[in-house]
Amino acid sequence: MQIVITGANRGIGHTLYTRYLAAGDQVLGTARNAEGFLPLDVSKPEDFPRLAQQLDCQPVDLLVCNAGVYLDKHQSLASGYEAAMWAESFAVNVTGVFQTVQTLLPNLQLAQNAKIAIISSQMASHTRAPGGSYIYRASKAAALNLGRNLATDLKGLGIAVGIYHPGWVQSDMGGTEAEITVEESAIGLQARFAALDLTTTGCFQTWDGRDHAY
């Protein structure tokens, strides 16, 4: 398979990248600034032509939109959550996902049974509203909504779209007290991506295969 993973230089993205490589797949990983990866800042529209050029006329079987930020940890409702933080978070977590899909749509159409996996979070669900982390929750909810609508529009093109909660992962973003390792998350996500097809397109699932409430 030809696989593209955004944000592949660390955390879940890097583990997925190394696991797919080890399985013999062709994998292109992107990162803002990391040796060995295609430079791509998904918050910058001017970076996307480089991605298109790199994959010109090549089919992409699986696109994993993994790049994301969580900038508003421990912010105060009284004095935090400044507008610039909202703008940067949405530029990465929402607009960046859309522009990645839009850029690689011709490549996805060249593949048979192409798939798009969007890494969202259970924090996107309206059923989980414990307060706080307003920016991250809102941006991941928007990514979930984006994925659901892309699933509708791309089904006729034969492209399946899945949205996934990767678990509370022991990573830079999740922290050391998180519930599962990066390896456990990546193994589960790979199984979810493999199972995704047009009959399940638009799904919102956890890393271990449970359907999550929207």
Which residue in the block uniquely carries the two structure tokens 């390896």? 183
Question: What per-residue confidence (pLDDT) applies to 78?
Answer: 93
pLDDT, tens digit, 9 for 90 and up, residues 64-117: 999 999 999 999 999 999 999 999 999 999 999 999 999 999 999 999 999 999
Angle in degrees, CA 210, 126, 153, rounded to 5: 75
Q: What is the gyration radius of the CA atoms in the chain, in angstroms?
A: 16
CATH of 2-206, one of 3.40.50.300, 3.30.1330.90, 3.40.50.720, 3.30.1130.10: 3.40.50.720
State the average pLDDT for the chain. Answer: 93
Question: What per-residue confidence (pLDDT) applies to 130?
Answer: 80
pLDDT, tens digit, 9 for 90 and up, residues 131-150: 888 999 999 999 999 999 99
Cβ atoms of 66 and 7 closer than 8 Å = yes
pLDDT, tens digit, 9 for 90 and up, residues 179-200: 788 899 999 999 999 999 999 9
Instruction: From residue 213, give the alpha-carbon distance in Å to each of 107, 201, 205.
Output: 31, 15, 9
pLDDT above 70: residue 176: no
User: Distance (Å, rounded) from C-alpha 199 to C-alpha 173?
Assistant: 32
pLDDT tier, 173 (very low <50, low <70, confident <90, very high otherwise): low
Most confident of 8-12, 84-88, 122-126: 84-88
Question: What per-residue confidence (pLDDT) applies to 212?
Answer: 83
User: Distance (Å, rounded) from C-alpha 198 to C-alpha 104?
Assistant: 19
| Average pLDDT score over residue span 50-60 | 96
Alpha-helix runs per DSSP H in the chain: 11-22, 48-54, 83-90, 96-110, 134-155, 182-195
User: Distance (Å, rounded) from C-alpha 158 to C-alpha 6?
Assistant: 22
Q: How many CB atoms lie within 10 A of CB 115?
A: 24
Question: What per-residue confidence (pLDDT) applies to 178?
Answer: 62
Query: For residue 183, with 0-12 CB atoms within 10 Å meaning exposed, 13-18 middle and 19 or more buried, which class applies?
Result: middle
| End-to-end C-alpha distance for the chain, whole angstroms | 30
pLDDT above 70: residue 121: yes
Give every CB contact of residue 75 below 8 A, 6+ residues apart in sequence: 81, 85, 132, 133, 134, 135
